Amino acid sequence: MSELLAVGNPDRGDDGVGPYVVAGLAGRLPKSKLLYSDGEVSDLIAIFARCSQLVLIDALDGPAAGMAPGQKLCLDANDPALAQAPLHASTHALGVVEAISLARSLEVLPKKLTVIAIAGESFVLGEGLSEAVACAADALIEELAAAFIEDAVHA
C-alpha cells in the first residue's frame, strides 16, 4: 500500500493544497499512512528513505507553468518532465524536484514515487486556497480515495 505525503504550508495560500488533500483523506484510508512535510529537502529525503511506494501531493506554480489554477499534473519521479515542473519551492528556494534528484543520487528514492501537483495562483502568506484550487483538491480527494480503496480490495 502506498503512503501519501502532503507537501506545503497551509498558511501560504495555494501552497497548502497538499496538506488540504491529505487532511481530507484522514480516516478514509485506514491501511495507508498519511505524512506531512513543509518541503524542506532534508525532511523529504528522510521520508523518501523510509518509503517504498509514495504518492506526493504538492502545489505547482501555475503562472510559471502556463497552467490555469486548479489544473492537475501527475508525474512519475523518473519522468524527465519532472525536472522542468515548477513545483512550489520552500522558503530556502529548494523543493520537491531538488529533493527527488538528491534522493536519486543517494539511492534512497522510493521504488515507486508519484508526484501529483495542482496548479496554484496565489502563495501569499495568511491566505487559504483559491476557489479553483479548492475545487481541484476536493476532486483529487475523491479520486485518491477511490483508487486506494480499489487497490486495497485487489491486494
pLDDT in tens, the chain (155 residues): 579 999 999 999 999 999 999 999 998 887 789 999 998 999 999 999 999 999 999 998 888 888 999 999 998 988 777 777 666 554 445 688 889 989 999 999 999 999 999 999 999 898 899 999 999 999 999 999 998 776 655 55
pLDDT, residue 1, reads 55
Strand locations in 1-155 (E) = 3-7, 34-37, 53-61, 72-76, 112-120
pLDDT, residue 92, reads 44
3-state DSSP helix/strand/coil percent for the chain, to nearest 5? 45, 20, 35
CATH superfamily of 3-154: HybD-like (3.40.50.1450)
**Could you give the angle at the alpha carbon of 53 between the alpha carbons of 48 and 56, nearest 5°?**
65
pTM score, whole prediction? 0.89
pLDDT, residue 66, reads 87
CA distance 63 to 68: 7
pLDDT, residue 150, reads 65
pLDDT, residue 154, reads 56
pLDDT, residue 91, reads 44
Contact between residue 91 and residue 56 where contact means Cβ atoms under 8 Å apart: no
Please provide the DSSP assignment of 65-87 as one string.
Answer: HT--TT-EEEEETT-GGGGG--B
Task: Give domain limits for the chain.
Answer: 3-154
